[in-house]
Amino acid sequence: MQVQDLRVLEVDELGGRLRVARRELYELRFKHAVGQLEDSSQISKVRHDIARIMTVLRERDFGILASTPEPEELLPAAEPIAEQPEEAVKPKRGRKKTEEKS
């Protein structure tokens, strides 16, 4: 199940898929406890599907747009770096070195 596929679904459909996925997880855990589950990786796959569905539902609650930005939008515009004025050098913390007497 891909996130893009979930984002086009209605809230009712997402709720139905969430219920089905949770039921499937319950059944897989039961089979695992009894020793009838052959492929235990199915449990993690169903858990990830549940997380994806819940993420899409929360995005809609917060009104987050699901569009992916273009690569140019990800990088900030290049601005020239202004030279910083030199500051006084702060002494390092710790023990002071003593000069050797000759």
pLDDT at 1: 73
3-state SS record for 64-102: CCCCCCCHHHHCCCCCCCCCCCCCCCCCCCCCCCCCCCC
Enumerate the domain spans of the chain.
Answer: 3-67
CATH 1.10.287.310 given to domain 3-67: yes
Over residues 31-81, the pLDDT tens digits come to 999 999 999 999 999 999 999 999 999 999 998 875 555 555 555 666 666
Cβ atoms of 7 and 66 closer than 8 Å: yes
